Structure 1
Amino acid sequence: MARALSPTWVFAIILVSANLADAIGVNWGTQSSHLIHPSIVVGMLKDNGIKKVKLFDADSWTVSALAGSGIEVMVAIPNNQLVHLSGSYSHAKDWVKENVTKHLYSGGVDIRYVAVGNEPFLTAYNGTYMKPTFPALKNIQKALDEAGVGNKIKATIPLNADVYESASNKPSGGDFRKDMKSLMVQIVQFLHSNDAPFVVNIYPFLSLYLNPNFPFDFAFFDGGSSITDKGVQYSNVFDANYDTLVWTLKKAGVPDLKIIVGENGWPTDGDKNANVQYARKFYDGFFKKMANNKGTPLRPGKLDVYLFSFIDEDMKSIDPGRFERHWGIFRYDGQPKFEIDFTGQGNDKFPVAAKGVQYLPSQWCVLNNDVKNISVVAPDVDYACSNSDCTSLGYGSSCNKLDTRGNISYAFNMYFQMNDQDVQACDFNGLAKRVTQNASQGNCLFPIQIMSAGERLKLGSRAGAVAGFLLILFALL
């Protein structure tokens, strides 16, 4: 017989849900060919109970849409502005005035943090931002203080977990990288003196992706693998990575420095381990962990985490991997990918989708049936994928099982949709044709693009990696 919940238990569930909502935010990126209108995205945030959002710039169109929403906001300074802001305090003052204080009116935007750069110390940048980042941080915090908002709004630097390492491969061996230890100690002491947090991006998926011998279960939260360090047992890599940072901060003299996880999530396409099944498994375990408020062995209690990410971005660089364009809980059009429960109570259901998104006409671009010699199509496929997004065709991805003709049609359609279904974008020297019958095959979605709310971003040369991939694909078929 079903038993009704007592008022005490009902209150406890509501309290847990509220606490978890306060602890979890999302990253909202805009590297997309067709942007959903910011007001629609803000509606999605509110409909799904998301109370914190982290941005990658301070675009006024986006930030202004958050006015009156009650959502806490982290605005950001892109890496390419660090030199400008580090060299002149007046530039920092102007930036704060234009991108922060102008939004702080009654009923305005609840800005809490300014992210100075984004993972500026990645080894891939070869030290490009090593010198300007810290001076820019100091200038921005000083400008916030002088504007009278420094007590509420803190400047920080979102960093990749590669700024620290462990010689023992266990948390207790944690320390900052030798090549930047002196700089990082100065930065964390500055953050501590200004009551600002250390923001770090932790990705269990990348541990699995980068190391073929990494224990699969250790990337998730439901046990199966563990390590022991100084009597402390770790059952997942998230906790182990987090506590490696805790040890690192302790050795730097700031053991109580607040930590925010700026990015944490699981992609759903573009790699053999990037799929909806594993993403749901990861999020289910993660939200249950967050709901328990157990924290990590060295930092028990509530964790502050921003999920990466809210919506897919089809223009992100794929240099780290083809999965980069598929981190979203929602697809490019604001439709949810899988059932989830942000409260961690296990009551999974599809999140609330975007409302008011408009699509282009229901038509697709596919390989013309009259084409018999498909070897002549390779240059056109190469061109299409170089100027669109063919990452779902990769090994282990959602469209990996298409036959050769299916691969060609997919590439043609992605280019066609990316170019707003322009008639000339479905020509390819007479090799393609437009159809009104849905071209999707099995689990492989041939998308119809949405009507963009913003100007389409310029495609960069970084898509070239996909082009080479498609030529290899043709060679194998």
Structure 2
Amino acid sequence: MSPFFPKDAATGSKCNIGSRVLLSILAVVVVVGSSGMVAVVESGIGVNWGTVTLHRLSPHTVVNLLKDNKIGKVKLFDADPDSLKALMGSGIEVMVGIPNDMLSLLSSSPTASDSWVSQNVSRYMVKNGVNIKYVAVGNEPFLTSYSGQYQSYVVPALTNLQQSLAKANLAGIIKLVVPCNADAYESSLPSQGAFRPELNQIMTQLVSFLNSNGSPFIVNIYPFLSLYGSSDFPQDYAFFDGTTHSVIDGPNVYNNAFDGNFDTLVAALSKIGYGQMPIIIGEVGWPTDGVISANLSAARAFNQGLINHVLSNKGTPLRPGVPPMDIYLFSLLDEGAKSTLPGNFERHWGIFSFDGQAKYKLNLGNGLLKNAKDVEYLPFRWCVADPSKDLSTVANHFKLACSYADCTTLNYGGSCNDIGAKGNISYAFNSYYQLLKQNVQSCDFDGLGVVTFLDPSVGDCRFLVGITDGKSSGICLDGRLVIVLLLIFWVSYIYLV
């Protein structure tokens, strides 16, 4: 397989508990359906709103952030009631997700399907309710690493859910879709794109279902992962400013990985008879921290280049003048509770930091990003290593603090990688301190920690201050859990010592 078109890998954004804007609308001509009919649709940039976080902004604050930035499309990874309630009356177009672990039940039980639609869709489809347009059935269920465990459930679940929507008189309003990872297809050149052999039959069934119900094909494309996963991948090919490593495919020339990947899917769809299927990009983005290739300047260059490319209406060599129907950036906010198994970058995909502050200048087609308003911060104080103390016994404290809090910025390539040993200790102490809502005992660390009112941030290395408005998705930080965590911390410390 060519290094220019590697399979995408799982990003961990596919967390089933929650984790990727209609702006600057352009009227574009898109070919839809296998019949070749032409329709005019609105092409927009959307955003994924994930909630696998240690410091959760209140859903109402997030919805106001979306509205202030004229973000009119949002994709959820589940049907979180708090998020959906906050979206009521906003007019924002919503894609609601169904986690992969629900597919088995929904595929075998029409009653369960009816119940899910009633509880998570119908109840919100009222006057001044939620503008639900899509239901995402599973999230990358054909991912190679899943070894086919969800594969047989997808089409039966779609069938049951379609019937449930019809019973609720919503089948003509809401479309069922299945977000797929780009590893569902493969090729050495875009024009030779084909679905993986073991998926060919089920993909034909899936696309036939989507086509018959007027639904688009949704795919997640990550040039960052191609660069991260292959030392042979040319860095400039991941971006949109031109490359010295163009891919020549017959009469077509590819100057960026996104277009090459997109057209590989177009070719794969053509091979099963659906070359005109409308396509939405369910996830695409660039992380800002945690590894050497994830930083603010690279993220801004990629995301701004992508937005400009899509809104220019240029399309791709196989679909000139026809960009994707919509693109959902991954993601809206950083998610500090996500697994780092795919890489330390996994917690840093947001165009906004966890507290809704824009990380870099980004024009979504309607002006630069605006920060979240009315964010309720904890007092502006930090926990750092006491400079007067001997820190030779700090290792276990450091390890335990980072096992609860997020310390991925301290790793090689991270924004806090070069702040020195004492700086690393202070960063870990403070991250834990803020996670426990600045509980006085959480900065003790056997006498090695001290509270300061002077911001210890250095350069791009930001020592965070926690927020108070909202419930944590990953950890419920009420008083009882603070006590439990502290007890676990000290018992574990005594045991390790």
Report the TM-score, using the length of structure 2 for normalisation: 0.85
Q: Could you say which structure has the greater relative contact order, defined with CA pairs below 8 angstroms and 6 or more residues apart?
A: 2
Correspondence 1:363 to 2:381: yes
Residue 410 of structure 1 aligns with which residue? 427
- Residue 60 (structure 2) aligned to one of 39, 63, 70: 39
Query: How do 1:11-410 and structure 2 match up within 5 A?
Result: 17-19=24-26, 22-166=43-187, 169-224=188-243, 225-300=245-320, 301-303=322-324, 304-343=326-365, 349=368, 351-372=369-390, 374-410=391-427
Structure 1: tracts of 5 or more residues without a match? 1-15, 460-477
- Higher helix proportion, which one? 1
Q: CA–CA distance in 1 between the matches of 2:313 and 2:235?
A: 24
Q: Which moved more, 1:270-279 or 1:299-308?
A: 299-308
Could you tell me how far apart the structure 2 residues matched to 1:198 and 1:424 are? 52
Q: Give 3-state SS (helix, strand or coil) of 2:394's partner.
A: helix
Contact 1:113 1:153 in 2 (8 A): yes
RMSD: 1.8
Cα deviations across residues 101-144 of structure 1 (Å, max 9, x unaligned)? 11111221111100011112222223322222222122112211
The count of corresponding residues between Structure 1 and Structure 2 is 438
Runs of 4+ in 1 over 3 A off after TM superposition: none
1-structure distance, mates of 2:206, 2:303: 32
Task: Name which of structure 1's ranges 430-439 and 108-117 shifts more when overlaid on structure 2.
Answer: 430-439
Q: Structure 1 residues 456, 147: CA separation in 2 closer, same or farther (over 3 Å shift)? A: closer
Question: How far apart are the structure 1 equivalents of 2:370 and 2:109?
Answer: 45
**1:271 & 1:354 partners in 2: Cα distance?**
27
- Structure 2 unaligned blocks of 5 or more: 1-22, 28-41, 477-497
8 Å CA contact 1:23, 1:302 repeated in 2: no
Letter of the structure 2 residue corresponding to residue 362 of structure 1: F
The CA distance in 2 between the partners of 1:173 and 1:331, in whole Å, is 40
In the aligned structure 1, how far is the partner of 2:385 from the partner of 2:65?
36
Aligned-pair distance for 1:22?
4.8
More deviation, 17-26/204-213: 17-26
Q: Name the % identity.
A: 50
Contact between 1:22 and 1:52, CA under 8 Å: does it hold in 2?
Answer: no
Superimposed CA distance per residue, residues 401-443 of structure 1 (whole angstroms, 9 cap, x where no aligned partner): 1111111111111111111111221122222121111111222
Q: Does 201-210 or 434-443 show the bigger shift?
A: 434-443
CA contact (8 A) 1:28 1:311 kept: yes
Equivalence for 1:471: none
1:466 alignment partner in structure 2:
none
Q: Displacement of 1:205 after TM fit? A: 0.8
In 1: Cα distance, 2:323 partner to 2:199 partner: 30
Amino acid at match of 1:264: V
Structure 2: how far apart are the matches of 1:165 and 1:381?
Answer: 43
Query: In structure 1, how many angstroms separate the alpha carbons of the residues matched to 2:196 and 2:313?
Result: 30
- CA–CA separation in structure 1 for the residues paired with 2:136 and 2:445: 44
Q: Which amino acid aligns with 2:181?
A: N
Query: Is contact 2:73-2:93 (8 Å) kept?
Result: yes
User: 1:309: Cα distance to partner?
Assistant: 0.6
Kept in 1: contact 2:24–2:44 (CA 8 A): no
The alignment status of 1:438 with 2:460, answered yes or no, reads no
Is 1:358–1:451's contact at 8 Å kept on the other side of the alignment? yes
Question: For residues 126 and 81 of structure 1, what CA distance do their matches in structure 2 show?
Answer: 17
Instruction: Return the letter of the residue paired with 1:428.
Output: F
Q: What is the Cα deviation at residue 456 of structure 1?
A: 4.5
Worse overlay, 220-229 or 237-246: 220-229
Q: Deviations over 1:5-47 (max 9, x none)?
A: xxxxxxxxxxx93328851111011111121111111111111
2:51 and 2:473 in contact (8 A); partners too = no
Please say if residues 57 and 469 of structure 2, whose CA atoms lie closer than 8 Å, have aligned partners that are also in contact.
Answer: yes
Structure 2 Cα separation of the partners of residues 455 and 276 of structure 1: 26
Corresponding residue SS for 2:142? coil
Residue matched to 1:457: 474
- Please tell me the residue identity of whatever aligns with 2:468: M
Rate the CA distance shift 1:127–1:255 in 2: closer, same or farther, 3 A: same
Distance of aligned partners of 1:181 and 1:375 in 2 relative to their CA distance in 1, 3 Å threshold: farther
Decide whether the 8 Å contact of 2:43 with 2:311 is kept in 1: no
Deviations 1:143-192 (A, max 9, x none): 112221112211111111011111xx211221111232222221111111
Q: How far apart, in 2, do the equivalents of 1:58 and 1:23 lie?
A: 23
Contact 2:375 2:469 in 1 (8 A): no
